């Protein structure tokens, strides 16, 4: 049976008297993009640093392709590419000089170094900057160089800690596309505290709060975690809140401005039928009606509350 790409068992870590990570268990068995979601200080960076062997855990085990990162750190790290929250760039080197330095640190055989550099320059779309000093690159391109060093040894498992932090919207979109490209033939895990980030790039979410894993599932699972209980309605002839509240099954009505209302309900199908029927009978001219999804913010807040 093939070993999981990553397996974390009963992971704990303590800084002085503060437990930053408490009994985290997770497993990744197939390629894709995995999001490690949590608020600032939730324990994301600590977990990632332990996964990559940068930090020694207080308790628990991490396995990369079945290799224990504590007992066999060198062998495990050969399979890992890591971009910390602050990219470890030598800004007075050119892009090519820096990547050559990284290739040598990764023990890539001399004859293969040039090929490895060319490959990551192309993958990260920075070939035209190979002779430019890193300090003269924009933030987005510096982040690309940071990602290039993380994949120069062609690892199975790539860890990106807040990879879009501090970038402008255009740079964020570019880095997201790059991450998707990298994940086509390997496993990527990225941390973020920004909810739309996971929707944009991730296949699966692990959510950490207060050092504990409080959710594991697909983005759809996460989005549907809290059952929606509202309907959005647009009525060209405004009936008013009071008249809508009189409909059977409507628990509450919020006026959203213009011709729009939000109805809270117990049974969505029943209330939708009542609104449609009343609209036809009373001439409200219904133009839109739809069941609303729970917002990611409300799900995040609910999950966080359950972890306390």
Same domain flag for 103 and 127: yes
**116 and 30, same structural domain?**
yes
**The pLDDT of residue 230:** 86
Q: Are residues 252 and 199 in the same domain?
A: no
**300: in domain:** no
CA distances from 113 to 102, 110, 175 (A): 10, 5, 24
Main-chain dihedrals φ then ψ at residue 63, nearest 5 degrees: -125, 130
Q: Can you give the pLDDT of all 308 residues of the chain as single tens digits?
A: 578 999 999 999 999 889 999 999 999 998 999 999 988 888 999 999 999 999 999 999 999 999 999 999 999 999 999 999 888 999 999 999 999 999 999 999 999 999 999 999 999 999 999 999 999 999 999 999 999 999 999 999 999 999 998 888 888 999 999 999 999 989 999 998 887 888 889 999 999 988 999 999 998 888 777 667 789 999 999 898 999 999 999 999 999 999 999 998 878 888 999 999 999 999 999 999 998 776 656 676 777 665 55
Shared-domain flag, residues 199 and 287: no
Last residue of a domain, one of 223, 240, 258: 223
Note the pLDDT of residue 205.
Answer: 93
| Residue that is written with structure tokens 């170094």 in the block | 113
Which long-range contacts does 40-44 make (Cβ < 8 Å, 24+ apart)?
A: 40/193, 42/193, 42/208, 42/209, 42/210, 42/211, 43/13, 43/208, 43/210, 43/211, 43/212, 44/161, 44/191, 44/193, 44/208
Domain boundary among 172, 207, 223: 223
Residue 295: the pLDDT is 61
Tokens coding 118: 């060319």
Q: Give whole-number Cα distances, 282 to 117, 167, 235, 238, 287, in Å.
A: 70, 52, 11, 11, 14
- Are 237 and 156 found together in one domain? no
Residue 235 falls within a domain, yes or no?
yes
Give me the CATH number covering residue 155.
3.40.50.300
177 domain-assigned: yes
Residues 181, 204 share a domain = yes
Both 58 and 156 in one domain: the answer is yes
Conformational region of residue 170, where left means phi above 0, alpha means psi within -120 to 50, and beta covers everything else: alpha
Please say whether the beta carbons of 274 and 229 come within 8 A: no
Q: Is residue 181 part of a domain?
A: yes
Identify the CA nearest to 31 among candidates 148, 183, 147: 183
Specify whether 180 is located in the same domain as 246: no
Sorted by sequence, the CB contacts under 8 Å of residue 71 that are 6+ apart come out as none
Determine whether 142 is exposed, middle or buried from the number of CB atoms within 10 Å of its CB (0-12, 13-18, 19+). Answer: buried
Q: Global pTM?
A: 0.77
My answer on whether 162 and 241 are in the same domain is: no
235 and 207 housed in the same domain: no
Q: What is the CATH number of the domain that holds 240?
A: 3.30.70
- Are 33 and 188 contacting, i.e. CB atoms less than 8 angstroms apart? yes
CA distance 77 to 262: 52
**Whether residue 44 sits in one domain with residue 148:** yes
CA dihedral sign, ordered 192, 196, 201, 205: positive
What pLDDT shows up at residue 196?
A: 80
Domain annotation covers residue 37: yes
Residue 119, domain extent: 6-223
Residue 307 in domain: no
End-of-domain residue from the set 223, 253, 274: 223
Number of domains in the chain: 2
Q: Is residue 306 part of a domain?
A: no
With respect to residue 303, please indicate whether it lies within any of the assigned structural domains: no
pLDDT at 44: 93
Residue 273 and residue 201 in one domain:
no
């Amino acid at each position: 049976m093939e070993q999981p790409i990553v397996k974390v068992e009963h992971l704990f870590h303590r800084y002085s008297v503060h437990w930053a990570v408490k009994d985290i268990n997770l497993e990744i068995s197939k390629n894709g993009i995995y999001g490690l979601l949590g608020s600032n200080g939730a324990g994301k960076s600590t977990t990632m640093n332990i996964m990559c062997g940068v930090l020694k855990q207080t308790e628990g085990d991490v396995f990369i392709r079945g290799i224990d990162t504590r007992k066999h750190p060198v062998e495990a790290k050969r399979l890992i590419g890591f971009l910390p929250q602050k990219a470890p760039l030598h800004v007075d080197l050119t892009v090519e000089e820096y990547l050559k330095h990284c290739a040598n640190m990764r023990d890539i055989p001399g004859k293969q170094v040039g090929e490895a550099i060319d490959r990551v320059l192309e993958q990260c779309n920075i070939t035209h900057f190979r002779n430019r000093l890193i300090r003269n690159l924009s933030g987005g391109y510096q982040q690309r160089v940071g990602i290039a060093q993380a994949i120069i040894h062609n690892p199975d498992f790539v860890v990106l800690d807040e990879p879009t932090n501090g970038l402008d919207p255009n740079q964020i979109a570019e880095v997201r596309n790059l991450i998707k490209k990298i994940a086509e033939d390997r496993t990527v895990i990225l941390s973020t505290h920004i909810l739309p980030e996971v929707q944009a790039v991730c296949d699966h979410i692990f959510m950490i709060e207060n050092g504990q894993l409080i959710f594991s599932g697909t983005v759809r699972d996460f989005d549907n975690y809290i059952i929606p209980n509202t309907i959005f309605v647009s009525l060209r002839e405004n009936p008013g809140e009071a008249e809508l509240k009189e409909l059977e099954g409507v628990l509450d009505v919020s006026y959203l401005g213009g011709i729009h209302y939000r109805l809270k309900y117990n049974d969505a199908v029943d209330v939708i039928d009542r609104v449609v029927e009343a609209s036809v009978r009373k001439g409200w001219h219904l133009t839109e009606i739809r069941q609303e999804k729970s917002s990611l913010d409300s799900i995040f807040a609910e999950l966080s509350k359950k972890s306390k």
